[in-house]
Chains A and B, each alone.
Chain A
């Protein structure tokens, strides 16, 4: 008998897998970005099923909101078109496809046989913001502060990398201009 929980899990999982496969199938980056947003929204639903309501909200706001807006903005800024396909090497096809099949069968067998098969109840764990905040600011205070420094470094790095390169070309034209100023 299918419970509501299992039906919701299968629905969100189907959306996530379909989005992930669509990301691979599309050739235009903007279509891939939109299907990635669908994957992230479906994953937020899975987090809700697992009782992590705050994480689900953060997933939608930060991942599907902020990060994907950055991606879409970059795609439009660079005017990215349809990608050219290149033929893969034959060795990759000969060894890659059997390797992927063997690996996925092994992984599936290990997961289905050896991981815990007892059910994960919906809302078994309170994922409320208050509880997570307590944990974040007591036990994980040092990693939290270090990530704030990481964010600061990333902001400065992004500004330095994306800003226009300074025109430090010491050509004859600039030299003569400087000489004109000096003299």
Chain B
């Protein structure tokens, strides 16, 4: 028996790690992985609330989050490849123009 607040605390820690990684990392792929970490933290709180309130809809929402994450990963990594092809760098400090 684990209290709901423990699950929420773990979810918050994972989300905070994602935010910190998004802010301090300079590699664009690692920044993208931090976004995935944030999505995972939110997914955990969805499942915990679903178990707490006996509502299966929470688990279905996790599916939709996963689908959106997969679509986002495909498009985002394609954008990273396109940026690397023109800039020859993955450092976000050197990618400061929207124009390719």
Instruction: Give the tally of cross-chain contacts (CB within 8 A).
Output: 223
A23 to B17, CA, bound (A): 9
Please classify the interface of chain B as helix (H, G, I), strand (E, B), loop, or mixed, using the class held by over half of its residues.
helix
Pairwise interchain contact B3-A161, C-beta atoms closer than 8 A: no
Q: Is A178 an interface residue (CB 8 A)?
A: no
Q: Is A177 an interface residue (CB 8 A)?
A: no
Pairwise interchain contact B10-A46, C-beta atoms closer than 8 A: yes
Q: A83-B26, A111-B5, A111-B9 known; A55 and B62 CB under 8 Å? A: yes
Neighbour of B51 across the interface among A17, A78, A120, A136, CB < 8 A: A120
* Minimum distance in angstroms from A104 CB to a CB of chain B: 7
A104 to B90, CA, bound (A): 31
Pairwise interchain contact A108-B9, C-beta atoms closer than 8 A: yes
Q: A70-B77, A135-B57, A155-B74 known; A3 and B27 CB under 8 Å? A: no
| 9 additional contacts (CB under 8 A) given A119-B3, A157-B75, A161-B75 | A36-B37, A50-B7, A55-B59, A63-B66, A78-B84, A84-B26, A112-B5, A112-B9, A150-B68
- Cross-chain pairs A/B with CB under 8 angstroms, 23 sampled: A6-B1, A20-B17, A43-B14, A46-B7, A47-B47, A49-B2, A59-B43, A62-B70, A67-B70, A70-B74, A77-B81, A80-B90, A84-B26, A100-B16, A108-B12, A111-B12, A120-B48, A124-B54, A125-B59, A147-B67, A154-B70, A157-B78, A158-B74
Point out residues on B near A: beta carbons under 8 Å.
1-10, 12-14, 16-18, 20-21, 24-27, 29-30, 32-34, 36-37, 40, 43-44, 47-48, 50-52, 54, 56-57, 59-60, 62-64, 66-75, 77-82, 84-85, 90-91, 93
